[in-house]
Amino acid sequence: MKKEFAAACCLLFAQSAFADDFDIVTPDPVAFKKVSEDLVHAYSYKALAPAEATGLTGFGIGAFGSYMSVDKSAWETLTGEDISGIGMAGVVAHKGLPFGIDLGAYYGYVPGAKADVFGAEVRYAILEGGVATPALAVRGSYTNVGGVDDVGVDSYGLDVTASKGFAFLTPYAGVGYVWGKVKAKGDAAVLGSENVDDARFFAGLRISMLLFELTPEYERIGSDDVFNLRAGFSF
């Protein structure tokens, strides 16, 4: 049920994602480099939340979707498939701890590729924010893409987020950096691995309606635009 739900959500964001399993049919180094950048950019950890600490009793859970256009020629060269975008959908949760610390995690599923994306974050509120002051937080994150025969993807991120609430609206924005590694496996191992590191900027808006929250988010990482959306509840 979890994977079926994630697949349905992701189809709302992408008309063309991974086709079948992600198989490398032409081990072209130039195409592999560009595809590696796309994979790290698309599957690095997504903020999807303002900077405010949620406190010891804070807890949130929701569903999310993410979509990014890709370099069609590089993907077609490498995989033999006509792929214009990749995305994922899944579930995300966070839990507040003392001293301005929040922990978060998500599970994402990539339809077609049957790939799993696991992410985790630790966020510390340098400024917890108030009626007249913004919140400021620093976050460290990690993601892993598994279940794909021909590649393995890992990425790490570090960013700073600022936000300020106004009634039921909380805009936020952040800057940071992402470091990723894509390793070719199986018959494609001749390609070796690619290291990807790029700056990222993101901005979003948390819309709160009692316990329900809707959070659209835009992310610019390297030369790619990523569009994210979270819908969920916080307590």
48-67 pLDDT per residue, tens: 999 999 999 999 999 999 99
Instruction: State the residue range of the domain holding 74.
Output: 2-234
Q: Give the C-alpha separation, 44 to 202, whole Å.
A: 12
State pLDDT tens for residues 92-116.
999 999 999 999 999 999 987 778 9
Burial 123-161 (b: 16+ CB within 10 A, else e): bebeeebeeeebbbbbbebbbebeebbbbbbbbbbebeb
Mapped onto helix, strand or coil, the DSSP state of residue 160 is strand
Split into its structural domains, the chain has a count of 1
Residue with tokens 């739900």: 5
CB-facing half-sphere around the CA of 219: CA atoms within 13 A: 30
Question: What is the CA angle 34-35-36, rounded to 5?
Answer: 90
Burial degree of 48 (CB within 10 A; 0-12, 13-18, 19+) = buried
d(C-alpha 110, C-alpha 87), whole Å: 6
Please report, for the domain that includes residue 141, its CATH number: 2.40.160.20
Distance of alpha carbon 80 from alpha carbon 182, whole angstroms: 19
Contacts (Cβ under 8 Å, ≥6 apart) of 35 = 70, 71, 74, 75, 78, 79, 182
Per-residue pLDDT tens over the stretch 217-229: 999 999 999 999 9
Q: Which residues pair with 40 in a beta bridge?
A: none
pTM of the model: 0.89
Q: Which residue has the higher pLDDT, 155 or 16?
A: 155
